[in-house]
A = this chain, B = another copy of it.
Amino acid sequence: MTGEPVKNIFIPGAISPVFIGDSIARHNTKTDAGAHSIFLGQIRKDRQESKTVAAIEYSAYEEMALEKVQEMREVIIIKHSLTCLHIYHSLGLVKVGEICLFIFTSAPHRKAAIDACGEVVEYIKKELPVWGRIIFDDAFSRWKNN
């Protein structure tokens, strides 16, 4: 435990490409970094039983999710000697084509950044108390399962 303050990862609604571009731009001062790996989750226009996905509405057990992410952050940063690690997940409604997940790892060399990013994606999908409700174009909805 490095004791850094708990960071919020939740963003209301979609994550904007401008926000992502700005985040990348700010890393030009991180001159120890030689490699950045980014994962973006985007709402896919899936077709299921003749319905088409229009959006996903996310909810979370926020306090628990932030505690879990914080523990995972510290483990992953040390394990891969990361320069930095940023995680953002949407809450509320995110429409088809919009971004709901943004993971950004930086390290001196590519292997650490790429491996860490992949591990964080798996963690977020499997371990984080977040739920997605899929909303179809006919307004019918059902709970997503990963």
Q: Which residues of A contact B (CB under 8 A)?
A: 17-18, 20-22, 24-25, 27-46, 96-99, 106, 108, 110, 113-114, 117-118, 121, 125
Q: Secondary structure at chain A's binding surface: helix, strand, loop or mixed? A: mixed
Known contacts: A37-B39, A39-B110, A114-B121. The answer to whether A31 contacts B17 by CB under 8 A is no
Contact check, B43 vs A34: say whether CB atoms are below 8 A apart.
Answer: yes
- From B20, B32, B118, A21 is in contact (CB under 8 Å) with B20
Q: How many copies does the complex hold?
A: 2
- From B20, B33, B46, B99, A42 is in contact (CB under 8 Å) with B33
Contact check, B31 vs A97: say whether CB atoms are below 8 A apart.
Answer: yes
Contact check, A42 vs B38: say whether CB atoms are below 8 A apart.
Answer: no
